Amino acid sequence: MIVMKLRRFPRIPTFMLGITVVGAAALMPAAGASAPAAKQDCRATPRAIRSVVYDSIDGVDPNLLSLDLYLPETGKGCAPVPLVVGVHGGGWRKGDKRGFTGDKAKLFNSHGWAFANVNYRLSDPATTPVVHYPTHNQDVANAVGFLVDHAKEYGLAPDRVGILGHSAGAGIVAAVATDEQFLEKAGFGLDTLRCAFPDDTEGFDVAARIAGGGLAARLYTFVFGADPAVWRDASPINHVERGKDIPPMLLTQRGEPSRVAQLQSFADKLRGAGVDVQVIDATGYSHMDVNELIGSTTDTVMTKAVTAFFDRCFTKGAS
């Protein structure tokens, strides 16, 4: 793990970025030597760059502020590639990017897209102080900002960025894609995201989920606190407005009636604001299936819909 002290502005020169490269030698300038001019990295085979630290905060485990970047074979003339940013689930309390990759990197790379798998600070009861909303959302927005800031170094197309997340990660994605405060604090706007796929969450309406009671309500109260005003502010459905550059959304419909009802309410609110919305009917799939089967050769529901969504996302308006 290589830790970097980053500031959002000005942009940090390429030679100060720390990365661990899998399958390629990492060339570092000798002490006192001037770094060579940055060159675009053009490869004939996919490769992974792991444990890139996108932010540095005193007292925080660098792994929680890191990402893995899976880059595809680059095309003719080293053309920049689209990027899908992935956000793992785990109830905001646990989980890691390593367990979220699955077949996604291979799938997206096969379409010529990069895949960045992001970690963020967790609401772990064993840590002091305990992390609560909105830290998770801001960390993910900062990771997106870092990747856009450093798109040239990694051969990414900064104007073709999509984002997906599962479960709690889907709640984070929905918030970052509808509530402009997070990307704005990272130095960008909602129009940074070309499209978003929050995959199977009940985090669209935090207040409604807590009102529903049960064990899940206890989890949400732990993560989002006890103030109903905060619950309302943390609910992506309350930030959907026309003219805000909210990106097109792909949603997954499955589960018990209350889950389906919340998804339908979010989809209706998006459509009412003029946002393009597509819904995958994943009836019969479990909460884990809709994530883990993306990219699987046995999947007949998720993979085709997900790749078609991002393909439209990245080709629409492309020069």
Residues of the chain with pLDDT under 70: 1-41, 75-76, 317-319
What would the pLDDT profile of 258-315 be if each residue is shown by its tens digit?
A: 999 999 999 999 999 999 999 999 999 999 999 999 999 999 999 999 999 999 999 9
What's the pTM value of the predicted model, to 2 decimals? 0.86
What would the pLDDT profile of 225-254 be if each residue is shown by its tens digit?
A: 999 999 999 999 999 999 999 999 999 999
- The secondary structure element, H or E, covering residue 161 is strand 156-166
Task: Check if CATH label 3.40.50.9100 holds for domain 41-315.
Answer: no
Percentage of residues of the chain with pLDDT beyond 70: 86
Closest CA to 151 of 178, 143, 164: 143
162: which 2 tokens? 């999509």
The ranges assigned to domains in the chain are: 41-315
Helices (H), 151-301: 151-154, 168-178, 181-185, 206-211, 214-224, 228-234, 257-272, 289-292
- Euclidean distance between CA atoms 307 and 319, whole angstroms: 20
Asked if residue 134 has a cis previous peptide bond (ω within 30° of 0), the answer is: yes
